[in-house]
Amino acid sequence: MAKINEDLQRERDKCTFKIAELTTLIDGGRDRTDARREREKVLLSRTKDLDGVPEEYLSHKEKYERAVKNSVILFGLVRQMQEEGKTSVTDYRDVITALLASAQTRDGSPLGVHYIMFMPAILNQGTEEQQAQWMPRAWNSSIIGTYAQISRREKMISCDVHASIASPDIIFGEKGDAIIDDDDDDHTELGHGTFVRGLETTATYDPSTKEFVLNSPTLTSYKWWPGGLGHTVNYCIVVAQLYTKGQCHGIHSFILQVRDEETHEPLPGIKVGDIGAKLGLNSVNNGFVGLDNVRIPRNQMLMKHAQVLEDGTYVKSKNSKLIYGAMVFVRVVIVFDMVNYLSKASTIAVRYSAVRRQCHTKEGEPETQILDYITQQHKVFISIATAHALRVTANKLWDTFNTVTEELGGGNLNRLPELHALACCLKAVSTADTANCVERCRLACGGHGYMHSSNLPLTYGLVTAACTYEGENTVLLLQTARFLVKTWQNVDTAKLTPTVEYLKNTRSKGFIEKWQNSTECIIKGFQIVAVGKISSSVDHMQQRISNGMALENAWNMTSVQLVSAAEAHCRVIILSIFYEVMNKAMATVSPELRRVLQKLVELYCVYWALEKVGDLLQYAPIAQSDIREMKSWYEDILVELRPNVVGLVDAFDIRDGILHSTLGAYDGRVYERLMEEALKSPLNAEPVNQSFHKYLKPFMQGKL
C-alpha cells in the first residue's frame, strides 16, 4: 500500500473516537459490516481489471459497449456466486445493490431494470401461470427485459394522478377514499410523464385471433426513458390503454417482445432505439419504442389483478390498494441511495480539504489546510450530518412501511395516507438536499472538483436525476400538502396518525414558554413553523375563494406556499427522527463517540434553524439575540467537529474501488492521482494529435 499523505495521517492520529465503532453503528451491527465488506471484497477482487480507459474519455457508444461488457461480467459473477452458494452473498438485493454501486457500473447498467423492475413486475402483476412461464427464463437471464412504466400504475384509471395540482376538489370534496393518487413522473412517453391518464399507447383486443394489437398512434406516444430499452433488452413490459369490446378500460401492463431472441433484430412493427446522451446515466441505455400494429397473444397481458377473457370480456380487479406498497418501497430505496451518494461526496470533500493547503495564516508557517477555514467547514460538514439524518429517517420509514404493510394485510388502511404523504415529501426533500450538498462539496473542491476524475460531477448528475424521476419533487410535495391540508381541516375532530400528531400539540398553551437555543427547542420551533405554514396556506386559499376565485385556481395560486408547507413538515419529521434515534444510539455507545454524535445532531439542527430563520421569526417566539447566539453556537460546533471529520468520513467505510475519486482516496495522494488519470486520456497517448496536420498547421500557415 502506498504511503498515506502526512496530513491525512495526522488527522487520523488525532481522531478522538473509534472509527470502527461508528461504522458498526452505521451498518446496523458488526455482522452486517462484515457481510458488506465480504461482498465488496469479492466483487472488487473479481472486477478490478475491467477498467481500461476511464469512462469519461469514451464516446456515448463506447460507454454503452463498456457498460454491456461490465454488466454481463458482474451479473454473471452474481449468478456464479448464487450457484456456488456463497453464504456471504446470498442476499440477492444486497448483492445487486453493492454491484450497482461499484465503480464499474457507477453510471448505471443497461441490465439494472431487468433485475430491479422487470422481474418484480412479473411477480407482482402476473398470474401464477404467467410467473411460471416467464420467471425461470428471466431469472437465468435467458431473456432480458425492461419496464416502460412503473407497476403500481396499473389500476390508476379512476383517480386523477396529478390531482394535487389539478383537482383540489378532492381535498375539499367528498372523494375521501381517493386521497392517495399516483403522481409519478417517469416520462414514460415522449409527451407524457406525470399524467398517466393521458398516455396514448393503445392495446386493442382482437377476439378473432385472441390477440392484443399494440399501437403508438402519435409521436408523443412513443415510450421514452426505460433503461436498457435502446439496444439491450429483448422484452419489455409496456403500459397501454386497454380497449376491448369497443370500450376503454384504462391502463394495463403487457409483456412485449421487442427483439428477436437469436438475432436481436427489432421485430416487425417495432421502432426501437437509444434516446441519446444525458447529463448522467449514460450507461443505462435509456431507450424509446414506437409500435405499429404489433400483435401479442392474450396471455401476455399481466392478469393478476384485472383480466380480459377470451371473448373480450373485461374483468375488473378486486383489489387496488395493496399496490401502493411498491411505490413507497421505491422511494425508501431512493432515500438510501441519497445516503450513499452523500457519504461519498463528503468523504471526497473532507479528505481533499485535509490534503489541500492554501495560504499562510501566519507568516513563516506552512500553508493552511483548507479544512481549517470556517467557510470550508460550513460548506462540507453539513453533508456528513445530512447523511446520518437521512439514513436514520430512511430506516424509520422502512420500519413504518413494514408496519403499515402488515396492517394492510389485516385490512387496516388507516395509516396508508400518512405513509404515502411521508414517502412523497421524504423523497423530494432528501433528493433536493442531497443534490445541494453534493454540489456544495464539488464547489468546495474548487477547480479540481470540476474534473471528472474527482467523481463529483458524475455523482451530482446521478443525484439531481433523482429530483425528477420517481415523482417530480414539486408534484410530490403538493401530494404531501394535500394530505396536510386535509388533516388540518379535521385537526380538532380526527384522531391523528403519529407523524402529524404535532399539528395538535403545538397549539397547546405554552408549547414553547420561552425560546432556548437547544436542539429540543429548535425541533419544537420547526413544528410551530410547519403548523403556521399549513394554516396560513389554507387561510390564503380560502381568502381567494371567498373573493370569488374558483377552487382549482385558488389551489394553484397558493401552490408555492403549499410546497413550502410540505417541506416544513418534512423538516419536522427528519429533525425529530434524527434527534430521537441518535439519542437512543448515544445511550449505547462509548463516551467518545457519544460526544461526536451529539455534535452532529446539534450541527444539523442549528444549520437548519439558521437556514430557515425567517420562518422561525415569523412563527416561533425567537428573538434577534437568540439568533446572534445561535450563529456563535454554529461556529463553535464546526470547530468542535473539526478534529474528527476525517474520522467521521472514514467511518462511512467506502473503499477506493467504490469511491473512484482522485481527490478522495484513502491515502490522500491527490496530485499523483490527478496526474495519473490525466495520463490515461487517449489524447495523451500521442504527442501530436492528427488535427494539427489536418487543420491547425494549414491555419497557422494562412492556408485555411
User: 268-277 burial string, b = 16+ CB within 10 Å, else e?
Assistant: eebebebbee
Which candidate, 324, 338, 323, places its Cα nearest to that of 383?
338
For a copy of itself, the binding residues in 606-635 under the rule CB under 8 A are 612-618, 624, 627-628, 631-632, 634-635
48, 61, 295, 321: which one binds a copy of itself (CB under 8 A): 61
Query: What residues pair up with 247 in beta bridges, in sequence order?
Result: 244
Q: Out of 116, 143, 345, 390, which residue is the one contacting a copy of itself (CB under 8 A)?
A: 143
- Which residues 82-121 are close enough to bind a copy of itself by CB under 8 A? none
> How near is the Cβ of 693 to a copy of itself at its closest, in Å?
8
Closest approach, Cβ 615 to a copy of itself, in A, equals 7
CB of 243 to a copy of itself, least distance (A): 20
Q: 6 catalytic, yes or no?
A: no
Query: Among 163-171, 172-180, 206-214, 314-322, which window interacts with a copy of itself (CB under 8 A)?
Result: 163-171
C-alpha cell at 240: 397501454
Among 36, 55, 448, 470, CA closest to 227 = 470
Select from 68, 95, 342, 572 the one that contacts a copy of itself (CB under 8 A).
68
CB 65 within 8 A of CB 52: no
Q: CA dist 457 to 298, 451, 554, Å?
A: 47, 7, 40
Which of positions 661-690 make contact with a copy of itself (CB under 8 A)?
671-672, 674-675, 677-684, 687-690
Would you count residue 139 as binding a copy of itself (CB under 8 A)? no
The answer to whether residue 142 forms part of the interface with a copy of itself (CB under 8 A) is yes
Smallest distance from a copy of itself to CB 245, Å: 24
227 marked among binding-site residues: yes
Q: What residues contact 581, with CB distance under 8 A and at least 6 apart?
A: 392, 395, 396
User: Smaller CB distance to a copy of itself: residue 437 or 593?
Assistant: 437
For residue 417, what is the enclosing H or E element?
helix 416-444
Spatial separation of the C-alpha atoms in residues 552 and 163, rounded to whole Å: 10
Residue closer to a copy of itself by CB (options 391, 569) is 569
Give ∠ CA 216-217-218 in degrees, rounded to 5.
95
Strands (E), 43-155: 145-147
- Binding track, positions 353-372, relative to a copy of itself; x by CB under 8 A: ----xxxxxx----xx---x
Contact 690, 682 (CB under 8 A): no
The answer to whether 607 and 523 have CB atoms below 8 angstroms apart is no
**3-state secondary structure (DSSP) of residue 248:** strand
Subset of 187-226 contacting a copy of itself (CB under 8 A)? 187, 190-195, 198, 219-220, 222, 224-225
> What DSSP designation does 267 have?
P
Hey, which residues between 398 and 457 contact a copy of itself (CB under 8 A)? 439, 443, 446-453, 457
Using only C-alpha atoms, the chain has a radius of gyration, in whole angstroms, of 27
Catalytic residue, from 55, 154, 439, 470: name it.
470
Of residues 515-574, those binding a copy of itself (CB under 8 A): 536, 540, 552, 556-561, 563
465 touches a copy of itself (CB under 8 A): yes
Binding to a copy of itself by residue 469, rule CB under 8 A? yes
- Taking alpha carbons only, the member of 289, 298, 324, 550 closest to residue 416 is 324
**Interacting positions 291-350 with a copy of itself (CB under 8 A):** none
Of positions 141, 299, 320, 395, contacts a copy of itself by CB under 8 A: 141
The nearest distance, CB 406 to a copy of itself, in angstroms, is 34
C-alpha dist (Å) from residue 80 to 77, 89, 511, 610: 5, 10, 60, 52
CA–CA distance, 187 with 198 (Å, rounded to integer): 12
Nearest to 619 by CA among 535, 516, 520, 500: 535
SS3 556: helix
Pick the piece of the chain touching a copy of itself (CB under 8 A) from 266-274, 329-337, 583-591, 652-660.
266-274
Q: From the CB of 40, what's the least distance to a copy of itself, in Å?
A: 22
Cβ atoms of residues 130 and 302 within 8 Å: yes
Residues 273-292 that bind a copy of itself (CB under 8 A): 273-280, 288
Instruction: Please give the span between the terminal C-alpha atoms of the chain, in angstroms, as a whole number.
Output: 53
State in angstroms the smallest separation of the CB of 472 from a copy of itself.
6
Tell me whether residue 491 or residue 678 sits nearer to a copy of itself (CB atom). Answer: 678
When the beta carbons of 25 and 478 are compared against a copy of itself, the nearer one is 478
- Residues in binding site: 188, 227
- Residues in binding site for FAD: 188, 227
Catalytic residue positions, numbered: 470
